[in-house]
């Protein structure tokens, strides 16, 4: 069974940092692209970052460029999102999402709250 | 690529046929997902490649379209279909989402 389990969310002050992790199981992690998608309270879905299966292609949304960094460790079946210089508007549930189309699978999400 | 959805909200009666539209600002071929999200829940894949039903999705859901214009239809609305529906393209990065259509029961 495909499982994506996010961790690392929590309450952080503006300007602070967090590192989100996503532990993948039930599939060959190294053959799928991965994404971080977030959803602010009461709002829609936003693609935050994308990384190809090998890590050769990386995308960050303009809203997080220069502050967030997506990475992966295929040996550990894990996806990461390093977040720094956090702002109130980064408050959201962050989902780890496998690939797209028929291969799309979502984790349960982890809540990041940026507040003083 | 900008993704637009219409309507932004919709009220319909049980048994009604409901159609939601998603428009892409440029040609995305068939590369479109439809997701259903119920309050407090994770988005669920309904349709992939514009018209293919995902595993376990009831047959009252259907998707259509190609290029820039796409539709999600529910042939006979059920109470459990109350949710927000999102389209997402995956033609090329960034794989943007539409703003969502909130569906409720009249």
Average pLDDT over chain A reads 97
Residue of B nearest to A100 (CA): B90
Whole-number Cα distances in Å, A70 to A28, A105, B46, B88: 19, 18, 27, 21
| Ranges of residues in chain B whose predicted pLDDT is under 70 | none
A1-57 pLDDT per residue, tens: 999 999 999 999 999 999 999 999 999 999 999 999 999 999 999 999 999 999 999
Taking a C-beta distance cutoff of 8 angstroms, is the pair A81, A98 a contact? no
Q: What is the pLDDT of residue B49?
A: 97
Min distance B84 CA to chain A CA atoms (Å): 9
Mean pLDDT within A70-79: 98
Q: In which residue are the tokens 């999402």 written?
A: A97
Contact flag B86-A44 (C-beta cutoff 8 Å): yes
Q: How far apart are CA A89 and CA A20, in angstroms?
A: 17
3-state DSSP assignment of residue B80: helix
Taking a C-beta distance cutoff of 8 angstroms, is the pair A69, A51 a contact? no
Q: How far apart are CA A84 and CA A69, in angstroms?
A: 9
- Select the residue from A96, A100, A108, A110 to test the B interface by mutation, using most B Cβ atoms within 10 A: A100
Q: How far apart are CA A104 and CA A98, in angstroms?
A: 5
Chain A with chain B: Cβ pairs closer than 8 A: 50
Chain B interface residues (partner A, CB cutoff 8 A): 31, 33, 35, 37, 42-43, 45, 48-49, 52, 54, 86, 88, 90, 93-100
Contact flag A44-B99 (C-beta cutoff 8 Å): yes
């Amino acid at each position: 069974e495909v499982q994506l389990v996010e961790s690392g969310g929590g309450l952080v002050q503006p300007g602070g940092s967090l590192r989100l992790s996503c532990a993948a199981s039930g599939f060959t992690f190294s053959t799928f692209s991965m994404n971080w998608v977030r959803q602010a309270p009461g709002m829609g879905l936003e693609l935050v970052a994308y990384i190809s299966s090998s890590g050769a292609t990386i995308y960050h949304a303009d809203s997080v460029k220069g502050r967030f960094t997506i990475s992966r460790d295929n040996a550990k079946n894990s996806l990461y999102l390093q977040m720094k210089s956090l702002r109130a508007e980064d408050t959201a549930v962050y989902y780890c999402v496998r690939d797209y189309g028929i291969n799309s699978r979502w984790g349960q999400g982890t809540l990041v709250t940026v507040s003083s | 690529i900008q993704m637009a959805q219409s309507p932004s909200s919709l009220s319909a009666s049980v048994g009604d046929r409901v159609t939601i539209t998603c428009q892409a600002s440029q040609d995305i071929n068939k590369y479109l997902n439809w997701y259903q999200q119920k309050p407090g829940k994770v988005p669920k894949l309904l349709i992939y490649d514009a018209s293919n039903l995902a595993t376990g999705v009831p047959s009252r859901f259907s998707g259509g379209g190609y290029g820039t214009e796409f539709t999600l239809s529910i042939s006979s609305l059920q109470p459990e279909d109350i949710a927000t529906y999102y389209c997402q393209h995956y033609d090329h990065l960034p794989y943007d989402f539409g703003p969502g259509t909130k569906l409720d029961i009249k």
